[in-house]
Amino acid sequence: MRLDKYLKISRLIKRRTVANEACDAGRVLVNDKVAKASVNVKEGDIIEIQFGSKSVKVEVLDVQETVRKEEAKELYRYL
């Protein structure tokens, strides 16, 4: 699944366009490498998102096309 879509589905970022812009600005890392929005995300990948002075690091546990809001947190684990 594309990185921008995963960030939206998992609700780490609210909208796909915002996820796309964050990737274009170089604020999203996958496995310690700057990632474009089109990068393929798979289970076990480490995603780091930089929000201003804050940084969020998660491990991808599952990749699903659709998920309910209550189940979105089961797709990743904070590190």
Q: How much is the pTM?
A: 0.92
Report the pLDDT value the prediction gives residue 37, as an integer from 0 to 100. Answer: 95
Can you list the alpha helix ranges (DSSP code H) found in the chain?
3-9, 16-24
pLDDT at 63: 95
pLDDT (tens place) for every residue of the chain, 79 residues total: 999 999 999 999 999 999 999 999 999 999 999 999 999 999 999 999 998 899 999 999 999 999 999 999 999 999 9
Position 52 scores a pLDDT of 86
CATH number at residue 22: 3.10.290.10
Rounded Cα distance, 31 and 72, in Å? 21
**Structural domain of 30:** 3-78
What is the domain count for the chain?
1
Residue among 15, 8, 18 nearest 27 (CA): 18
